[in-house]
Amino acid sequence: MTAPHPQSADPVKESGGVPAPAHVAIIMDGNGRWAKARGLPRTAGHREGVEAARRAVEAARDLGLSYLTLYSFSTENWRRPVGEVRDLMGLLKQFIVDDLPRLKKEGANVRILGDKQNLSPDIKALVHRAESETAGNSAFHLQIAFNYGGRDEILRAAKAIAAAAADGVLGAKDIDEGAFKKFLDTGDAPDPDLVIRTSGEKRTSNFLIWQAAYAEYVFTDVLWPDFDETVFREAIDEYCRRERRYGGVGGGAR
């Protein structure tokens, strides 16, 4: 992002259903298929996917969201060819280097979700830089799930709680949903209201499986590199037409 994004129309308003979401999470899917359809290598799809991610960040702010969480690289993605993984790592580094100054200037708080322990030293350094340089910001929250898996996150949280209990920091009676949540990668961040998945696939793919327990899902056939503010707004409009029951019988109560 090298130039300010033109301001769009007014943020999405309520449309007869539930209030517009404060937190949207996106499973960014379809880069490979986008490239294949054009006779291009998968890396070309991933590069276009980064551009789509930039558009999504700008659109989220224009649409009045407080939190945006992007699923960029899962714990299972290590099974991909070595060259593709290397390219994905390079794109993450480029994204942080190129976009961090503007995100910082605009007051964005950046958090990287996922297991950071087995990342290469250069990636670790960039992750630390992104988080530390934006730690005091609160105008907008961008969470990037990288080397992330929902089950892995819950397992790491359980291990951390066990260690805290062993050290006498926590007792069994102290462990409830609120206490457990603080050990997750998302910490005190609000749960997502809406999860969008692109490319027509209809599965959760191990993404925010604790946090998205009561999220609404919108599945779009649009491949991720073609994702733009229009598609984003359509997903939010669909969300706003729904009724969230949270296990209850309806009536619009949250």
How many angstroms separate the CA atoms of 52 and 21, rounded?
Answer: 20
How many angstroms separate the CA atoms of 130 and 99, rounded?
Answer: 10
Residue the block writes with tokens 């960014």: 28
Q: For residue 8, how many other CB atoms are within 10 A of its CB? A: 15
Catalytic amino acids? 29, 77
How many angstroms separate the CA atoms of 242 and 82, rounded?
Answer: 42
Q: What amino acid is encoded at 127 in this protein?
A: V
CA triple 9-215-220, angle to 5 deg: 60
For residue 184, which of 165, 206, 159 has the smallest C-alpha distance?
Answer: 159
- 166 alpha-carbon distance from chain centroid: 32
